[in-house]
Structure 1
Amino acid sequence: MIQVEELYLAPDATVLEALRKLDQTGQRILFIAPQGRLEAVVTDGDIRKFFLRGGTPDQPVQLAANYHPLSLPIAERGRAREVLERHCIDALPILDKRGVITDIVFARGLDVDNRKHTDIPVVMMAGGLGTRLYPYTKILPKPLIPVGEQPIAELIMDRFRDFGCRDFTMIVNYKRGMIKSYFSELEKDYAIHFADEDVFMGTGGGLCLLKDKIHTPFFFTNCDTLLDVDFGDLYEFHKNNGNLITMVCAFKHYTVPYGVVELGQDGNIAAMREKPELDFLTNTGVYVVEPRVVEEMRDGEAIGFPDVIDRYRAAGEKIGVYPIGENSWMDMGQLEELEKMRRKLENQS
């Protein structure tokens, strides 16, 4: 069981440090509380809004925090459920007369579901060869590679279904007969349609097969990416910001395992850094897309979806980023990552 103090964040912490701590704790909220006295809270949503305003990970978390958080005195703890439900928040600090946090009531502990549900369609790009997962993909197409007791594609669909999505389309090519056979025999409470890609058209080109078939915004996902995010909140973020496309990006922290040498113009050493640490945003391969993008796809064009995004970005269209923590993203695109995903899901069960 998590201790209250594990959710405390130093007032001088950076936004990046807050993101790391959110990942470490598995919670969606942290508290700035010197000597236990509540001053502010910071949530994953606060950090997303901060980045939308142009903030950067190295800035003080104080710039992203909410200094007027909801709380309850000890005597009113019995109202916690009512407050959590009315304000759709994940956690509520309980304070003594000095403003010191004595307890935190979490929505999950009260069976309160604060997730934002949505029923927009989901399109899955599932036609690739999966060469990075060879030799598994010599036998099975990547969407059917098992992670635990279920194929990865089914796990992805289950996560979307938990948020209200009931309409799925798979763009299939390689070993598509096996994919269709598996999902046609699967007992499920959602509908799956298939779009046959006869020639490989990349991670974006296959969308042209859906012209006149999709008329609302939709989630667009690779078949090897599992996210632990509130998809309803993601869709609301997309709508509220008027984006043509919203890309889900994960913060990554990477330590280069070598000493890095930088050369000057004269060929001499300009600088040396021992095992430098890098922090960056990376594309998870999950998006919210407006239907107009499908209608404007060029028939038969082989193109990656990042290139489609670049095309619109160069034309001045609004492309948004929905940032998530590193631990909210699991990718099985390579054998090593597949094993990590399996271990992580085993620990969650």
Structure 2
Amino acid sequence: MRAIIMAGGKGERLRPYTTVIPKPLMPIGNVAILEVVIIRLKNAGFEKITIAVGYLGNLIEAYVGDGSRFGVQIDFVYENKPLSTIGPLAYISNLNETFLVTNGDVLTDISYEELLSFHKKVGANATIATYKRNVKIDFGVLTYNDEFCIDGFIEKPEYNYNVSMGVYIFEPSILDYIEKGKPYGVDSLVLDMVEKKDKIFSYLFEGYWLDIGRPDDYEIAINKFLSEAQSFI
């Protein structure tokens, strides 16, 4: 199988760090988060990886090179303008078989093999790895009726959601939804596939996952990796 790493975002929530360093190259311990993703893919048997880059993409290409030091073959596709989360797939050639797509800034111990096995078992055209995320609101939340008359008050509520992990398994058929040169995100893909009753499934993962997009999560990721590096690479 072939893997695609999405690494074109500006990482605006991590500024000022990402003013000079693209988010996938942010270090956790003595390695970049992107390096962890590449090593995990290599360990799962992926031999060819394409990295979609945009913002500061030249730095990512200079750091990663052709992949030989990781034992994989790596090439790059550049976005001339932001194309959202999966828009760049339209510019990647030879996606003729089942392929994996992952963001380049997630720390997780998910088994790509088990994800693929689930995808094949259910006969999906798209499988989205999902994770239960608890969101705590640090304020009192008011509820009210249509006339703005308050009818309830919830002190610092907590909500649970199944969120996308930024890890996907796709069949080539999903490329039919993507128009070259136009921004297209996973959110649009989900809605379009649901409308057309195409086969799209959720794979609920219960291991470890963290998106390093926020400063607090970035710090957590560093501490987690330093204490349990063996779990990831």
- 1:192 to 2:69 alignment: no
With 253-262 and 132-141 compared, the bigger mean Cα shift is at 253-262
Contact 1:210 1:294 in 2 (8 A): no
SS at match of 2:19: helix
Contact 2:177 2:189 in 1 (8 A): no
Query: For the residues of structure 2 that align with 1:309 and 1:264, how far apart are their CA atoms?
Result: 32
- 1:131 to 2:33 alignment: no
- 1:203 to 2:99 alignment: no
* Post-superposition offset of 1:296: 4.5
- 1:334 to 2:214 alignment: yes
Over the matched positions of the two proteins, sequence identity in percent amounts to: 29
Aligned match of 1:162: 43
* Post-superposition offset of 1:283: 1.1
Residues 9-24 of structure 1 mapped to structure 2, 5 A cutoff: none
Aligned match of 2:200: 319
> TM-score, length-normalised on structure 2?
0.91
* Post-superposition offset of 1:255: 3.0
Query: For the residues of structure 2 that align with 1:197 and 1:269, how far apart are their CA atoms?
Result: 48
Contact 2:39 2:70 in 1 (8 A): no
* Post-superposition offset of 1:285: 1.1
> TM-score, length-normalised on structure 1?
0.62
> Structure 1 residues 336 and 266 mapped into 2: Cα distance closer, same or farther (>3 Å)?
same
* 1:83-105 per-position Cα deviation (integer Å, ceiling 9, x unaligned): xxxxxxxxxxxxxxxxxxxxxxx
Highest CA radius of gyration, 1 or 2? 1
One-letter code aligned to 1:339: E
The number of residues matched between the two structures is: 228
Residues 247-258 of structure 1 mapped to structure 2, 5 A cutoff: 247-258=128-139
One-letter code aligned to 1:317: D
Higher relative contact order (CA 8 A, sep 6+): 2
One-letter code aligned to 2:208: S
Query: For the residues of structure 2 that align with 1:300 and 1:269, how far apart are their CA atoms?
Result: 47
One-letter code aligned to 2:63: Y
Query: For the residues of structure 2 that align with 1:162 and 1:184, how far apart are their CA atoms?
Result: 18
The counterpart of 2:115, out of the listed 234, 242, 246, is: 234
Query: For the residues of structure 1 that align with 2:181 and 2:77, how far apart are their CA atoms?
Result: 14
Aligned match of 2:157: 276
Query: For the residues of structure 1 that align with 2:151 and 2:41, how far apart are their CA atoms?
Result: 50
Aligned match of 1:174: 55
Structure 2 residue ranges without an equivalent (≥5): none
> Structure 1 residues 299 and 269 mapped into 2: Cα distance closer, same or farther (>3 Å)?
same
Superposition misfits of 4+ residues, deviation over 3 angstroms: none
Residues 1-349 of structure 1 mapped to structure 2, 5 A cutoff: 120-184=1-65, 187-211=69-93, 213-325=94-206, 328-349=208-229
One-letter code aligned to 1:329: W
